[in-house]
Amino acid sequence: METTLIIVKPDAVQRGLVGRIVCRFEEKGLQLVGMKFMQIPMATAERHYAPHKEKPFYPGLVSFMTASPVVVMALRGVGAIGICRNLMGATFGSKAAAGTIRGDFGVSNAFNLIHGSDSPEAAAKELGLFFRQGEIVDWTRMGEGWIYDLSSGTPE
């Protein structure tokens, strides 16, 4: 099982898309193990986007991410990172396929609605930025056997 970070960005929050976006992940079968509504502190945004610090879009990105509240989620599932990235769609809404979050709700290349970790290493780092110890909850879903084939003893 992988756990990944998803951020429903300020544009999606302002447009009232939070519920519809959360639904996409839950309907796919991913398990919600952490969630909070928050205003990202400037220092956290700067750490989160540090790999882009030398790029021309960095100041605007940090400003955008701290301008309005976001929803951060920890989602868990087999292959959760890849599944989430497929559900999100291409980075730019204008190029994202219909049926994806960005393809269905976005047209902007700057405001792209959602962030998702791109690797297990990034997920671990990002989850640590946005969730404190104990805020990600291990719990058993009663319907797990209807999401994954558990006949071999491990989820498939």
In a domain, 139, yes or no: no
The mean pLDDT of 68-73, rounded to a whole number, is 98
- What total of structural domains would you count in the chain? 1
Residue 28's closest CA among 129, 121, 116, 130?
116
The active-site residue, picked from 81, 115, 127, 130, is 115
> pLDDT digit string (tens) for 85-138?
999 999 999 999 999 999 999 998 889 999 999 999 999 999 999 999 999 999
In a domain, 16, yes or no: yes
> pLDDT digit string (tens) for 14-33?
999 999 999 999 999 999 99
Asked whether 124 and 130 are in contact (CB, 8 A), the reply is no
In a domain, 118, yes or no: yes
Global confidence as pTM: 0.94
The mean pLDDT of 40-49, rounded to a whole number, is 96
- Beta-bridge partners for 38: 70
Write the CATH number for 98. Answer: 3.30.70.141
State yes or no: is 115 an active-site residue.
yes
For 12, the domain range is 2-132
Does residue 52 carry a pLDDT above 80? yes
Residue 112's closest CA among 10, 4, 19, 34?
10
Around Cβ 106, how many Cβ atoms within 10 Å?
Answer: 26
